Amino acid sequence: MKILALIPARYGSSRFPGKPLALVHGKPMIQRVYEQTVKAFPNACVATDDERIYNAVKEFGGRVVMTSTSHNSGTDRCYEALKNYCKESGEVFDAVINVQGDEPYIRPEQLQQLGECFNDPSVELATLVKRVKDKDELLNPNSPKVIVDKNNDAIYFSRTPIPFSRDVEVTDEYVREKPFFRHIGLYGYRVDTLGKICAMPQSFLELTEKLEQLRWIENGLKIRVAETEYETHAVDTLKDLDYINSKFDWE
């Protein structure tokens, strides 16, 4: 199984412009993510639409390809990056891992766990989840939830609490006792499946929940789900950046 890890990185974030170049313990965030990624997958590459990010990656010795500025999602950017990377390198891959460029503390173990999902030849798409830890997290619309079937395939993702707990008082203790899961925004795709989903028009469920993975489910595709024990720390705002720089050491 030959896997390419791609790290989409945009400069123009509405909440945090230039985020990939923000310093995390003295290094650009995109460098931190890249260095964590190559511990799991030696074939790793940043996909960006901005020359400043492109030059920064080149400066620290990473691999990077330029992509269009018009993509609707990181998945679309990954597909263009895959084609560009393969054209430049002449290599062929079986699967692609889409690594979030704003999670500098991503664990190699998480990436490896996602890649191992493709040891099952029936798996076309894969992602990670983590147990919800309390009521606030369950109710947070910025932390999508997922319900899973007995085969560990996703049934549905939602920004609302799912499953809905009817006739039950939802407390922290109740949430910790029950199998509520939140989505970790890492994706894996077989190469041919990546091409298929990028050709699909946006769907009603996707546009309603603002979750692109619902397009895949609505079109009949299965998403294999693996549970991670590790926490993630996404950087969405300057406040998040200050928090991780003050609260976490870099090992």
Locate the domains of the chain by residue range.
Answer: 1-106+233-251
Write down the pLDDT at residue 217: 98
What whole-number distance in Å separates Cα of residue 224 and Cα of residue 125? 6
What whole-number distance in Å separates Cα of residue 198 and Cα of residue 216? 10
Write down the pLDDT at residue 251: 60
Write down the pLDDT at residue 73: 82
What whole-number distance in Å separates Cα of residue 53 and Cα of residue 1? 30
pLDDT in tens, 111-151: 999 999 999 999 999 999 999 999 999 999 989 999 999 99
Q: Divide the 251 residues of the chain into consecutive groups of 10 and give the mean pLDDT of each group.
A: 95 84 94 97 96 97 93 87 93 96 94 98 98 96 96 98 95 97 96 96 95 96 97 86 82 60
Sign of CA dihedral 177, 183, 186, 189: positive
Query: Which CATH superfamily hosts domain 1-106+233-251?
Result: Spore Coat Polysaccharide Biosynthesis Protein SpsA; Chain A (3.90.550.10)
Write down the pLDDT at residue 235: 87
Q: Is 77 helix (H, G, I), strand (E, B) or coil?
A: helix
Q: Which residues make beta-bridge pairs with 147?
A: 156
